Structure 1
């Protein structure tokens, strides 16, 4: 086996700290718990603002178009740097990058809550997204780096529980805070959590060995421009009716340019291009080592997490709008009707993690996504005034089972073949793929909701029929997940 292959495949060695000491299993779990607090916080923050948006718009005396930018600015600055911050974790250590991100996130959360104008709030949210981008790849990377392969299932189960619960806790917590304390508290609540999180990381996360290579600044520029154009175009397309923004600049042009820059970026990462682009850097390492994509499961897992990110974001919006705008429920009541998703996912995910250590995870992921599809079909059929309210918690619970089976399984398959040196890069790619999928899901569901509501002249049925987006994405994802190789067998083959 070549050294290049072994850097990806040889994952049996244990992590060591900066002094060369082996990180024990207890230390690994303590580190993971410390990281998961911040990971939970930033995932909640991607959805909590949606619930508080009407109150925030009223309080700051602004309009809906400007209000949408409160979330759009965060998602944009969150998604774009993920490729870079993942590799920075490899280069300078996940602990250091996470601490920087947590400090930025906490300070910008305080600034968000204190913002007297919509402009300052949008700017603070953009900084908050940068903090989240520093933190997110490190939580997944630490599982790959600190846990031996046979122990990763349980660790990934906790990571999956955090991701699944956070996706639906945001709207619930947002509704309660807005109805009781005011919109500012959806941001203020992050400040004490950030302080506790910083203390826990300093106390429990070891300073790991770093893998120093010449940093790929050309890749940073190309991927940054490409991701910005792509995510902005996808995210804001509906606001401009997928047409002209100003002058000759249009949404399709931005997306096309984004694709062009990303293609150039990918070509710059190829092994054959390195002697021409970096002739004097013998220790150069690309931002995204393309050899990672020679691994079948890594490539399939990225496709699957893109589709799941798209599915989940598309699923949440019409359900929340239906319960509030059609059935007349308050933000808190509407969120509580959906809370079985978070409860069921949180209870099942640790059990799923233990099962993942001995069973094929691709099959489990396929079943999980299929349950999301079934729940989406239920929403499509039952968004009529005569439907009893108890039906919706049942559909939410089905989605919770799906979330528990999906997140951990896909993430474990995607990161199982990553070695110590590539953990950050692989995690950055994985999280960036999910975020772009989430942005695309938001754009598609907004476009389809508008089209179906206009065609139907019925808000409820239009919202139900927009679930075709989640049904389509989920069906494709089931096929992708069913194509995963057995992750244990793949690891044995590589080693």
Structure 2
């Protein structure tokens, strides 16, 4: 057992502090969309301009994740977690006070950097302060926090925008961020560090490659893939190939790899990264066609459409803490295969509802199935992927895991957006929305195949012991 494992009461206190910061990040991702019309009106901006309020955040969140995960191994996950909260909160204040759209976009970019610093540290600390046999329970609670944030964001955002305007959605982060810093200082312990040097060429190439790929994927589909977007895509792929080469040769340069390639010899970890990318693809993309169908196709208000999604968030919030402990006892394939299969069924059922004359109330069943699927996927997948990772590589492994999830999200948003456009031109508006959901269903099929090859921990081998002399 790792020497950093805490007594149960202290471990759960640390988890509470971590979850508060995690809640703040997820709340931001759902609450900002509510304020988009207000931001457009305040700055007399076009939609293609305001979309950068979200796009720049996602770009600055995704690009540094490989680096910030390894920074946790080098300087301490608790230290980086607090730094991430501080950067994110100060940037939220700057966003609330921004006098121009350009400064608002810049502040959102800094918020994304803060989120990138914070995000991988959360999973790293959980996997270090909880024993292997309790990590499923901890990650179940962590997943429930995500579900609650998903529900609270749009509802709270609606009240805040109505009461004080769009700037209020950024000001709400100030008390939450301050409390998160205080609790993290009190409850998140200082953990031994392992990485001694950061490979600078790897950092530079990863930043270049990820930026090129994300910008190409974000902007290419909507603009019809102009030559510059294709060139960025090629540059990104070449940079990824060079990055992998640099990781393999880091020791020859007397440096430590940013992403130790030996991690991927852990079968459950590799499958977990791939499968969570397919889940990120789905979760980030499915809501747009669903909400367009409910509001434009069925004539519901945004409030009423949001209420139909309440079963998803509530069931996930209630079920995640119950399923988490089961992930510590059962064969990892059981829960994960059930989750991915349920998600695919829910997507196909929603497709059928869109093109049939079935009562709209049946969507509550689909919403509930989405909630069950989320609860069955997030905690079990995270616990299975991370449980047997070498403790010295926990930060790097968490960074790669979260990069996979966020990269899937960027690809999903771009892919389903393009599928909606093609489907609408070929079949009409509502049938086109239904067809677009077949894309995440197909991608999830690949994730389902991957998790079917998970193995019990006893067949993976213990890789979580602390290295001797760590400090």
- TM-score in terms of structure 2 length: 0.94
Residues 126-205 of structure 1 correspond to what in structure 2 (within 5 A)? 126-205=109-188
Return the alpha-carbon distance in structure 2 between the equivalents of residues 177 and 478 of structure 1.
39
Q: Which residue of 2 aligns with 1:483?
A: 453
Mapped pair 1:123 → 2:109 = no
Cα shift at 1:493 = 9.3
Q: Name 2:433's counterpart in structure 1.
A: 463
Tell me the SS of whatever aligns to 2:337: helix
1:448 Cα deviation after fit: 0.6
Report what 1:42 is aligned to: 25
Q: CA RMSD in A?
A: 1.9
Q: Deviations over 1:38-87 (max 9, x none)?
A: 11221232233233323322232101111111110000000000011111
Q: Could you list the per-position Cα deviations for residues 187-211 of structure 1 after superposition, in whole angstroms to 9, with x for gaps in the alignment? A: 2211111111111111111111122
* Residue aligned with 2:263, SS: helix
Q: Which runs of 4+ in 1 moved over 6 A?
A: none
> Secondary structure at 2:211's aligned position in 1?
helix
Q: What pairs with 1:86-485 in structure 2 (closer than 5 Å)?
A: 86-244=69-227, 250-270=228-248, 273-276=249-252, 278=253, 281=254, 284-384=255-355, 386-457=357-428, 459-485=429-455
Contact 2:388-2:462 within 8 A present in 1 as well: no
Gaps of at least 5 residues in structure 2 are: 466-471
Q: Secondary structure at the match of 1:286?
A: coil
How far off its partner does 1:391 sit? 1.8
1:142-174 alpha-carbon deviations (Å, 9 max, x no partner): 111111111112112112222344345433433
Q: Distance in 2 between matches of 1:484 and 1:121?
A: 44
When normalised by structure 1's length, the TM-score is 0.90
Q: What 5-or-longer segments of structure 1 have no aligned partner?
A: 1-11, 16-21, 245-249
Q: Distance in 2 between matches of 1:383 and 1:479?
A: 27
Contact 2:389 2:464 (8 Å CA) reproduced: no
* SS of residue paired to 2:347: helix
May I ask how many residue pairs the two structures share in their alignment?
Answer: 465
Matched position secondary structure for 1:174: helix
